[in-house]
C-alpha cells in the first residue's frame, strides 16, 4: 500500500508542477513557439527573463527524472493486480527511457544556454565569436533539444502513455472511459508533436494549439490516476483500521 500511496502522490505532484512549468515558460519566454526562433531572437529573450526561464526548465528537468520512479511505481501497482507478461516491463522500460531522454534535453537550458546568452550579449564579444555562439546554440538546440529531448523524449513518452493507459485498464486501476481518455489525449498531442516536423500543417495554427492543450490535459489525466490510487489506498486501509479497533476492544 505504501507503493500505491507514494506513486499516487508523485503523479499528482508531477501533473501540477508540469502545468506550473508550462505556464511559467509560456508567459515569460513564449515557449514553445520560441524554440523555432533563431539564436538572435532566443538568446536575448532568454537573458531578459533568465531567472524565470531557468526555473521553468529546471522544473521540467526534475519532473523528467521523476518519470522514472513513476514508471517503476505504476509497474509495481499493475504487477500486483494482474500479471501482464512482457508488455508491462516493456512499457516500463519505455517510460524510463523517456525520462532519461527528456532530462538530457531540458538540462541544456539551465546549464549551457546561460553561458551562451552571456557571451552573445557581451558588448566586448567580437562579431566572429558572436557568430560562433549562434552556431553553438543552433547545434545544441537541434541535437539536445529537437532531436534528443523533444522528438525522442516525446516519442517514448507517447508510447509509454498509450501502453500505461491500456495496462491500467487491464489491471482494474481505471475504468474503460478513463483509459480511453488517456489514449485519445495521447493520440492528439503525439500526432502533432511527432509528425509535425515533417508535415507543417500538423505543427502550426489550430492543430498545434489543440495538441498543446491536449498535452496539458493529459497531465491532468495523470493527476487523476494519482488521485485514484490515493483513494484506493485510503479505502483499503479503513477496514483494517476498524478490525484493529474491534480486536483491541
Classify residue 180: in a domain, yes or no.
Answer: yes
Spatial separation of the C-alpha atoms in residues 66 and 13, rounded to whole Å? 10
Spatial separation of the C-alpha atoms in residues 246 and 249, rounded to whole Å? 5
> 3-class SS at 198?
coil
pLDDT average, residue stretch 156-168: 97
pLDDT for residue 2: 78
Classify residue 237: in a domain, yes or no.
Answer: no
pLDDT average, residue stretch 91-99: 97
Spatial separation of the C-alpha atoms in residues 232 and 79, rounded to whole Å? 16
pLDDT for residue 75: 95
Classify residue 242: in a domain, yes or no.
Answer: no
- H helix runs in 30-49, sequence order: 39-48
pLDDT average, residue stretch 53-76: 96
pTM exceeds 0.95 for this model: no
For the record, the C-alpha cell of 95 comes out as 517510460
Summarised one tens digit per residue, pLDDT across range 187-235 is: 999 999 899 878 877 878 888 889 989 999 999 999 999 999 999 877 6
The domain of 157 spans 2-232
**Could you give the number of structural domains in the chain?**
1
Spatial separation of the C-alpha atoms in residues 225 and 228, rounded to whole Å? 5
Classify residue 105: in a domain, yes or no.
Answer: yes
For the record, the C-alpha cell of 249 comes out as 476492544
Out of 44-53, 199-208, 235-244, least confident range? 235-244
Per-residue pLDDT band for 149 (boundaries 50, 70, 90) equals confident
Classify residue 239: in a domain, yes or no.
Answer: no
Classify residue 248: in a domain, yes or no.
Answer: no
Classify residue 245: in a domain, yes or no.
Answer: no
Amino acid at each position: 500500500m505504501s507503493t500505491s500511496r507514494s506513486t499516487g502522490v508523485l503523479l499528482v505532484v508531477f501533473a501540477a508542477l508540469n502545468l506550473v512549468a508550462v505556464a511559467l515558460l509560456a508567459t515569460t519566454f513564449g515557449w514553445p513557439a520560441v524554440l523555432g526562433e533563431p539564436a538572435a531572437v532566443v538568446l536575448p529573450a532568454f537573458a531578459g527573463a533568465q531567472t524565470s526561464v531557468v526555473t521553468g526548465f529546471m522544473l521540467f528537468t526534475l519532473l523528467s527524472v521523476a518519470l522514472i520512479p513513476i514508471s517503476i511505481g505504476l509497474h509495481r501497482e499493475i504487477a500486483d493486480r494482474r500479471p501482464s507478461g512482457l508488455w508491462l516491463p516493456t512499457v516500463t522500460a519505455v517510460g524510463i527511457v523517456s525520462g532519461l531522454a527528456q532530462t538530457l534535453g531540458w538540462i541544456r537550458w539551465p546549464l549551457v544556454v546561460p553561458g551562451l546568452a552571456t557571451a552573445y550579449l557581451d558588448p566586448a564579444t567580437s562579431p566572429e565569436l558572436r557568430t560562433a555562439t549562434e552556431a553553438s546554440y543552433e547545434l545544441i538546440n537541434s541535437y539536445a533539444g529537437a532531436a534528443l529531448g523533444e522528438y525522442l523524449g516525446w516519442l517514448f513518452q507517447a508510447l509509454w502513455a498509450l501502453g500505461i493507459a491500456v495496462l491500467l485498464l487491464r489491471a482494474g486501476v481505471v475504468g474503460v472511459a478513463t483509459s480511453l481518455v488517456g489514449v485519445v489525449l495521447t493520440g492528439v498531442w503525439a500526432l502533432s508533436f511527432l509528425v509535425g516536423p515533417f508535415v507543417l500543417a500538423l505543427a502550426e495554427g489550430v492543430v498545434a494549439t489543440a495538441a498543446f492543450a491536449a498535452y496539458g490535459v493529459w497531465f491532468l489525466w495523470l493527476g487523476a490516476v494519482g488521485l485514484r490510487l490515493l483513494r484506493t489506498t485510503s479505502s483499503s486501509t479503513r477496514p483494517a483500521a476498524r478490525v484493529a479497533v474491534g480486536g483491541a476492544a
